[in-house]
A and B are shown apart, each in its own frame.
Chain A
Amino acid sequence: MAVPSVAVQRRPSILSRLAESRNSLGFGFMLPAAALLLVFLTYPLGLGVWLSFTDTRIGRPGIFIGIENYQYLWSDGVFWLSVFNTVLYTVSASILKFALGLWLALILNQNLPFKSFFRAVVLLPWVVPTVLSAIAFWWIYDSQFSILSWALQQMGLIDHRINFLGDPTNARASVIAANVWRGIPFVAITLLAGLQTIPQSLYEAATLDGASRWQLFRYVTLPLLTPIIAITMTFSVLFTFTDFQLIYVLTRGGPVNATHLMATLSFQRGIAGGQLGEGAAIAVAMIPFLLAAILFSYFGLQRRRWQQGGGD
């Protein structure tokens, strides 16, 4: 990539023309994407921050009220409960997704019959629209006709039906389980792609040196997989943290706000309740967490480049 620019530097007259056309062409090519992103992504991001400092309601433009929304949220127990729920939801779901996803990736990396069939099948939960699979979970978690309760009762493990979504602890566990179910394929397939880039010869060499299976995993697989784990988990954490659909379908934040995430609370206050300013403030409160995740991802990428020995 550096070669053309070096060649160009020797001929200054062409350099100026080329740079000019490159930049104007580049500008023209970037225009459609940049326009759409600036208007519908960057501007709303700023508008959201501005709204969070106003008392805008649906159908009534607001006035600047400073940090009143934030002061109100600071003293609002439900908001703090939603922060706690979001962190709990993100941490437990991410750990489970990572552990199970890595396990599944290691299994799929083996020499299996019908390899591509299994890969395709495993991806299904991730491909299907979340809302639609969440509706299936809603039916699985039904308080009266839950198939899980029925199966466990038939096996004699429980003597009465489980109230999956009606009890705070159960509801939290249920939505986390549904999220893990949906998230495993993404983690597994991305890590699988990473596993396949590890040369077999490393394993052969380590085996000849007498490494055990655990040592093979710990000293060959894991170090080489770390960069891709960092990226995959950043994405996973990011999307779990901002999850909305699953909760909206399964519990709408209930029972007694036990499963309200920041995103669902923001929707409930901002759109359903009409308090756009307050809803925007809740959304803005998510940004620091997201920034932390993005920084983590950035350094993960840096490390990946460095490990691959490439400058680009």
Chain B
Amino acid sequence: MAAIKEVERPDTDEGGMGYLQSLPRRVVTVYLPLLMFVIVLLFPFYWMTITAIKPNAEMTDYVKYNPFWVVHPTLQHIRYLLFETSYPGWLLNTVIISTAATFLSLAAAVLAAYAIERLRFSGARQVGLAVFLAYLVPPSILFIPLSVMVFKLGLYDTPFALILTYPTFLIPFCTWLLMGYFRSIPFELEECALIDGASRWQILTKIVLPLSVPGLISAGIFAFTLSWNEFIYALTFIQSSEKKTVPVGVLTELVRSDVYEWGALMAGALIGSLPVVVLYSFFVEHYVSSMTGAVKE
């Protein structure tokens, strides 16, 4: 019976047995809850945006103006942020640090993942497990000893303190993700190349890497976002105002004790979020499928 119905209505084929539900029932069980989720999950962003373009007079006057809307949108907060604070510098710092940490981690992770997954050196399994465990070590228990080390190495208050410490959480993650990806590349390709006399290095650069570009992109986006969002190391290891990253700068430099510049704060939060949001919107499908290593075939 079910099969016949499916043939008759090919448009519902994908949803499995969704057609067994009536429309009113679907509204209550699916669309209404979904709407609630979307509203709750997106409201802070809406509120961020509306505050960032609100003139100060409207921001604190809930009697005359409806706070959910803006009557006279203004760019004054964004202008203040871009021209009267160190914000552009923080953006640049964050871009430089995130890019450097991402490339460093990706390079190390590609080699490590290939070695663990394909070279199968003795102890590869144990090393793979160790890498997984390394991912579970949180920055919150490392920042105190790391701050001591960073100080002794003379890296305190330099971008290198962050570029060298971010790989501690990026490498395990990227290695783990790439191991899954390399596993999906057929062994036979490598065997053919080996018989043709290719070296391991040639196999990696000419066969494995070109085939795993989607995996590399996902790992790169992950790593970039994680570095962009990192807070506790950046807060601890960087002191000078002009060397800070966006999350730390916005929180420690824009928040003055007397009056909160809510407009500028929200503009800072919004602009600081945009790069990662844009990055994700392009690659969200990759991202969802690679998240659990469940690469669609």
Cβ–Cβ contact A242 & B12, under 8 A = no
B164 close to chain A: CB less than 8 A: yes
A132-B250 contact, Cβ under 8 Å, with A45-B142, A200-B16: yes
The distance in angstroms between the C-alpha atoms of A228 and B293, with both chains bound, is 12
Cβ–Cβ contact B273 & A128, under 8 A = yes
B270, closest chain A residue (CB) = A132
Enumerate chain B residues within 8 angstroms of A41, measured Cβ to Cβ. Answer: 134, 137, 142, 168
- The contact string, 1 if C-beta is below 8 Å from chain B, for chain A 197-239, is 1001001100110000000000000000000100000000011
Residues of B within 8 A of A (CB): 2, 12, 14-18, 20, 26, 30, 33-34, 37-38, 40-42, 44-45, 47-48, 51, 59-60, 62, 67-68, 104, 107-109, 111-112, 114-116, 119-122, 124, 127, 131, 133-134, 136-149, 164-165, 167-168, 171-172, 175, 200, 225, 228-229, 231-232, 235-236, 246-248, 250-251, 262, 265-266, 268-270, 272-273, 276-277, 280-281, 284-285, 287-289, 291-292, 294
* Cβ-defined partner of A132 (8 Å) among B108, B133, B247, B288: B247
Q: B48 to chain A: closest CB distance in Å? A: 5
A300 close to chain B: CB less than 8 A: no
Q: A242 to chain B: closest CB distance in Å? A: 4
A271-B276 contact, Cβ under 8 Å, with A44-B149, A135-B250: no
Enumerate chain B residues within 8 angstroms of A208, measured Cβ to Cβ. Answer: 2
Enumerate chain B residues within 8 angstroms of A276, measured Cβ to Cβ. Answer: 144, 147-148
A53 close to chain B: CB less than 8 A: no
Q: B160 to chain A: closest CB distance in Å? A: 12
Cβ–Cβ contact B34 & A37, under 8 A = no
A113, closest chain B residue (CB) = B31
Q: B33 to chain A: closest CB distance in Å? A: 6
A271-B236 contact, Cβ under 8 Å, with A30-B127, A36-B164, A239-B138: yes
Cβ–Cβ contact B47 & A139, under 8 A = yes
* Cβ-defined partner of A128 (8 Å) among B51, B146, B277, B291: B277
Cβ–Cβ contact B231 & A140, under 8 A = no
Q: B43 to chain A: closest CB distance in Å? A: 8
Enumerate chain A residues within 8 angstroms of B247, measured Cβ to Cβ. Answer: 129-132, 245
A283, closest chain B residue (CB) = B141
A30-B41 contact, Cβ under 8 Å, with A37-B168, A145-B59, A228-B292: no
Decide if the interface of chain B is mainly helix, strand, loop or mixed.
helix
Cβ–Cβ contact A249 & B41, under 8 A = no
Cβ–Cβ contact A263 & B108, under 8 A = no
Report, nearest first, the 9 A-B pairs whose CB atoms are least far apart.
A111-B15, A26-B121, A29-B115, A242-B138, A33-B112, A131-B247, A263-B140, A132-B269, A47-B145
Q: A156 to chain B: closest CB distance in Å? A: 15
B120, closest chain A residue (CB) = A22
Residues of A within 8 A of B (CB): 1, 5, 19, 22-23, 25-27, 29-34, 36-37, 40-41, 43-45, 47-48, 51, 56, 100, 103-104, 107-108, 110-112, 116, 118-125, 127-133, 135-137, 139-140, 142, 144-145, 147, 150, 181, 184-185, 189-190, 192-194, 196-197, 200, 203-204, 207-208, 228, 238-239, 242-245, 248-249, 262-263, 266-267, 270-271, 276, 279-280, 283-284, 286-287, 290, 293-294, 297
The distance in angstroms between the C-alpha atoms of A122 and B39, with both chains bound, is 10
Cβ–Cβ contact B225 & A127, under 8 A = yes
Q: A160 to chain B: closest CB distance in Å? A: 14
Enumerate chain A residues within 8 angstroms of B14, measured Cβ to Cβ. Answer: 111
Decide if the interface of chain A is mainly helix, strand, loop or mixed.
helix
* Cβ-defined partner of A25 (8 Å) among B68, B119, B167, B235: B119
Enumerate chain B residues within 8 angstroms of A293, measured Cβ to Cβ. Answer: 136
Cβ–Cβ contact A238 & B136, under 8 A = yes
B94, closest chain A residue (CB) = A129
- Most interface-central of A26, A107, A108, A249 (chain B CB within 10 A): A26
Cβ–Cβ contact B41 & A181, under 8 A = yes
* Cβ-defined partner of A112 (8 Å) among B34, B107, B280, B281: B34
B277, closest chain A residue (CB) = A127
Enumerate chain B residues within 8 angstroms of A29, measured Cβ to Cβ. Answer: 111-112, 114-115, 119
The distance in angstroms between the C-alpha atoms of A203 and B17, with both chains bound, is 8
A266-B144 contact, Cβ under 8 Å, with A103-B33, A204-B2: yes
Cβ–Cβ contact B141 & A36, under 8 A = no
Cβ–Cβ contact A48 & B236, under 8 A = no
Cβ–Cβ contact B164 & A40, under 8 A = yes
Q: B6 to chain A: closest CB distance in Å? A: 10
Cβ–Cβ contact A244 & B276, under 8 A = no
The distance in angstroms between the C-alpha atoms of A5 and B124, with both chains bound, is 14
- Most interface-central of A127, A137, A190, A249 (chain B CB within 10 A): A127
Given A36-B168, A44-B146, A147-B67, 14 other A-B residues pairs in contact with their CB atoms under 8 A = A26-B119, A26-B124, A33-B108, A33-B112, A37-B167, A37-B171, A100-B37, A119-B284, A139-B47, A267-B236, A271-B143, A283-B140, A283-B144, A286-B140
